[in-house]
């Protein structure tokens, strides 16, 4: 832990322009993840700074929220073209569970680095930060930019310097494990392991997900609400969710973006004005696909879906929320260029009322208290039978709220990779047979892996890639062993969103 900011700067500037939800600020991708510290999905009572510990290391709320943000953006890009995930989709993709798992792994890696005697001095941290391109102005470290960007990402200098320490230590740990002498025979053996593959489907059957499928009767809800302590629980849960349950003022919008090329603003404005002359509500989507300079807009007809205040840059937002339904704007200038905006529909702001959500929240509470042990066992039996007979799971997916990942290629060298945290002995079991259904029982959750051969062998890896891969696999195995001694202990005052 670094006790003080290396640059001795304590005051942070919070003035930084809001991002557009469609044209996302990419400056910090991979380095600083925009945090949910103030508005994220975590909620709890008591001590809000951490969600738990792994050995001597805290998992901070900001880390948890940032990891959720990172994974949410990943799944949103893959499955929704960049549009934000709903609360149901966050649960469907197991984002909260995965966030905890990844953060536990990162803390175990810290412990591994510490126990391996890997140290990083304060000067190395300082120099690394000073060389970061996003903190430079005309090639020189800019302390104002440093403070402003950290403030925008809701990070203190101490936070960022600590993150830098762990990143540099991780790099040293990876490099240390990459310093292996690779003979031609070893390279050939590793590539043979890489080319031994299986095509898998991963089905997760969770007691919590099954509970959500249960139908709760009106009488059960009425009886539950008749108990005063339950009424208070419902009210507290409603108040915690009220902001998200309330409907914000939103406008369903499309836009056509004309970017400024080679600094020629006049040409961009003229082009936008010429396009606007022939624009109508009916042809807007077609014209957007034809003329917009926003890559995703070419396939969506410039669709922005429902936009709430605070999502777009100020100039765009001001113009959009001043428009009437069905209106098309004149060219609107922002830092991204000139926009032609169509306001397709509007939703007025509506504050959530307890009476409208009381029964729904009560139903959720009752579901959580149900014992579904027998139903979980039944689901495992039915899904296993379907997999063994190669019959579709569509009906059972809905019946038991299954989470399914199809066509995941696994190789003997890497296993399932970081996305699916199976232990090495389970991976070895899968490769012990040409095909079959394999089970991991975690008590309240059962994972079934259907495995079959694949002809997609791929090309040989080069030496550099093999070294990194072996280093990663070595570290993963050591972390797995460390996990037997250092388990995750949740803060008793913290309630995670999936609980």
Q: What is the pLDDT of residues 458-487, one digit of tens each?
A: 777 777 777 777 777 777 778 878 888 888
Alpha-carbon 158 to chain mean position: 24
Token pair of 135 as six digits: 């903190």
pLDDT above 70 for 39: no
Token pair of 486 as six digits: 């250092």
CA distances from 266 to 260, 270, 272, 316 (A): 8, 6, 10, 19
Proportion of the chain above pLDDT 90, given as a percent: 41
Regarding whether 85 and 97 lie in a shared domain, the answer is: yes
For 208-236, give the secondary structure using H, E and C: HHHHCCCCCCHHHHHHHHCCHHHHHHHHH
Q: Tell me how far apart the alpha carbons of residues 497 and 74 are, in angstroms, rounded to a whole number.
A: 19
Task: Select from 316, 335, 369 the last residue of a domain.
Answer: 369
**Confidence band for 20, pLDDT divided at 50, 70 and 90:** very low
The CA-to-CA distance between both ends of the chain, in Å, stands at 30
Token pair of 243 as six digits: 């902001």
**Confidence band for 38, pLDDT divided at 50, 70 and 90:** very low
Regarding whether 293 and 149 lie in a shared domain, the answer is: no
Token pair of 480 as six digits: 């797995």
Proportion of the chain above pLDDT 70, given as a percent: 87
* β-pair partners for 107: none
Q: What is the CATH number of the domain that holds 50?
A: 1.10.4030
What does the radius of gyration of the chain's CA atoms come to, in whole angstroms? 26
Q: What is the CATH number of the domain that holds 288?
A: 3.10.50.40
- In this structure, is residue 189 part of a structural domain? no
Buried b (16+ CB within 10 A) or exposed e, 48-63: eebbbbbeebebbbbb
- Cβ-proximal residues to 306 (8 Å cutoff; 6+ apart), any chain: 250, 251, 252, 347
pLDDT above 50 for 19: no
- In this structure, is residue 23 part of a structural domain? yes
Q: Which domain holds residue 207?
A: 195-214+370-458
Q: What is the model's pLDDT at position 418?
A: 59
Q: What is the dihedral of CA 13, 14, 18, 23, to 10 degrees?
A: 50
Q: What is the model's pLDDT at position 499?
A: 61
- In this structure, is residue 184 part of a structural domain? no
Q: Tell me how far apart the alpha carbons of residues 148 and 142 are, in angstroms, rounded to a whole number.
A: 10
Regarding whether 428 and 335 lie in a shared domain, the answer is: no
Q: Could you tell me which residue, 140 or 14, shows the higher pLDDT?
A: 140
Q: What is the model's pLDDT at position 18?
A: 36
**Confidence band for 268, pLDDT divided at 50, 70 and 90:** very high
Regarding whether 147 and 258 lie in a shared domain, the answer is: no
- In this structure, is residue 187 part of a structural domain? no
Regarding whether 121 and 6 lie in a shared domain, the answer is: yes
- Listed in sequence order, the DSSP H helices in 81-153 are 87-92, 95-115, 122-131, 143-152
Regarding whether 147 and 22 lie in a shared domain, the answer is: yes
Q: What is the pLDDT of residues 417-427, one digit of tens each?
A: 655 668 778 88
* β-pair partners for 303: 254
Element (H, E) at 60: strand 57-60
Q: Tell me how far apart the alpha carbons of residues 30 and 34 are, in angstroms, rounded to a whole number.
A: 10
**Confidence band for 449, pLDDT divided at 50, 70 and 90:** very high
pLDDT above 90 for 325: yes
**Confidence band for 24, pLDDT divided at 50, 70 and 90:** very low
CB 402 within 8 A of CB 396: yes
CB 467 within 8 A of CB 30: no
**Confidence band for 452, pLDDT divided at 50, 70 and 90:** very high
Q: What is the pLDDT of residues 341-376, one digit of tens each?
A: 999 999 999 999 999 999 999 999 999 899 999 999
Regarding whether 39 and 159 lie in a shared domain, the answer is: yes
Token pair of 324 as six digits: 């009437």
- In this structure, is residue 352 part of a structural domain? no
- In this structure, is residue 188 part of a structural domain? no
Regarding whether 377 and 363 lie in a shared domain, the answer is: no
Regarding whether 30 and 170 lie in a shared domain, the answer is: yes
pLDDT above 80 for 92: no
- In this structure, is residue 308 part of a structural domain? yes
Regarding whether 296 and 375 lie in a shared domain, the answer is: no
Regarding whether 98 and 38 lie in a shared domain, the answer is: yes
Strands (E) located in 309-348 = 332-334, 337-347
Q: What is the model's pLDDT at position 498?
A: 63
Average pLDDT of the chain, as a whole number = 83
Q: What is the pLDDT of residues 123-174, one digit of tens each?
A: 999 999 999 888 888 888 988 888 888 887 777 888 888 889 888 988 888 7
Regarding whether 58 and 128 lie in a shared domain, the answer is: yes
Backbone angles phi, psi at 380, to 5 degrees: -60, -45
Strands (E) located in 392-466 = 403-411, 436-441, 445-453
Q: Tell me how far apart the alpha carbons of residues 105 and 150 are, in angstroms, rounded to a whole number.
A: 25
Number of domains in the chain: 4
Q: Tell me how far apart the alpha carbons of residues 236 and 224 are, in angstroms, rounded to a whole number.
A: 15
- In this structure, is residue 185 part of a structural domain? no
């Amino acid at each position: 832990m670094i006790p003080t900011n290396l640059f001795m700067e304590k005051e942070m500037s919070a003035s930084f322009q809001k991002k557009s939800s469609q044209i996302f600020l990419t400056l910090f991708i991979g380095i600083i993840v925009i945090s949910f510290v103030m508005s994220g999905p975590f909620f709890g009572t008591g001590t809000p700074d951490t969600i738990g510990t792994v050995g001597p290391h805290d998992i901070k709320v900001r880390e948890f929220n940032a990891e959720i943000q990172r994974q949410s953006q990943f799944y949103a890009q893959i499955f929704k073209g960049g549009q934000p995930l709903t609360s149901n989709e966050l649960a469907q993709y197991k984002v909260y569970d995965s966030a905890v798992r990844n953060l536990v792994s990162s803390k175990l890696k810290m412990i591994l680095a510490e126990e391996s005697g890997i140290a990083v001095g304060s000067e190395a941290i300082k120099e690394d930060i000073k060389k970061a391109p996003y903190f430079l102005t005309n090639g020189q470290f800019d302390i104002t930019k440093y403070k402003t960007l950290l403030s925008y990402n809701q990070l203190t200098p101490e936070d960022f310097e600590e993150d830098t320490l762990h990143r540099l230590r991780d790099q040293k740990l990876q490099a240390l494990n990459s310093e292996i002498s690779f003979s031609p025979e070893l390279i050939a053996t590793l590539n043979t392991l890489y080319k031994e593959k299986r095509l898998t489907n991963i089905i997760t059957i969770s007691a919590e997900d099954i509970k959500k499928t249960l139908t709760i009767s009106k009488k059960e809800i009425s009886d539950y609400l008749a108990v005063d302590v339950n009424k208070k629980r419902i009210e507290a849960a409603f108040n915690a969710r009220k902001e998200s349950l309330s409907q914000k003022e939103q406008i369903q919008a499309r836009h056509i973006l004309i970017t400024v090329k080679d600094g020629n603003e006049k040409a961009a404005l003229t082009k936008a004005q010429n396009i606007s002359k022939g624009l109508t509500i009916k042809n807007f989507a077609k014209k957007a696909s034809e003329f917009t300079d926003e890559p995703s807009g070419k396939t969506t007809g410039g669709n922005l879906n429902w936009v709430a205040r605070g999502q777009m840059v100020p100039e765009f937002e001001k113009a959009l929320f001043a428009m009437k339904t069905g209106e098309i704007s004149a060219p609107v200038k922002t830092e991204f260029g000139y926009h032609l905006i169509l306001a397709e529909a509007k939703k007025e702001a509506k504050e959530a009322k307890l009476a409208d959500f009381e029964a729904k929240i009560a139903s959720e509470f009752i579901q959580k208290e149900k014992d579904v042990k027998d139903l979980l066992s039944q689901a495992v039996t039915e899904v296993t039978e379907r997999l063994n007979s190669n019959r579709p799971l569509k009906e059972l997916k809905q019946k038991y709220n299954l989470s399914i990942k199809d066509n995941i290629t696994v190789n003997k060298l890497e296993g399932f990779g970081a996305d699916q945290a199976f232990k090495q002995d389970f991976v070895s079991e899968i490769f012990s047979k040409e095909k079959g259904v394999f089970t991991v029982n975690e008590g309240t959750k059962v994972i079934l892996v259907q495995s079959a051969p694949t002809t997609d062998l791929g090309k040989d890896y080069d030496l550099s890639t093999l070294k990194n891969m072996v280093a990663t696999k070595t570290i993963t195995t050591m972390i797995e062993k460390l996990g037997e001694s250092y388990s995750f202990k949740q803060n008793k005052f913290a309630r995670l969103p999936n609980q």
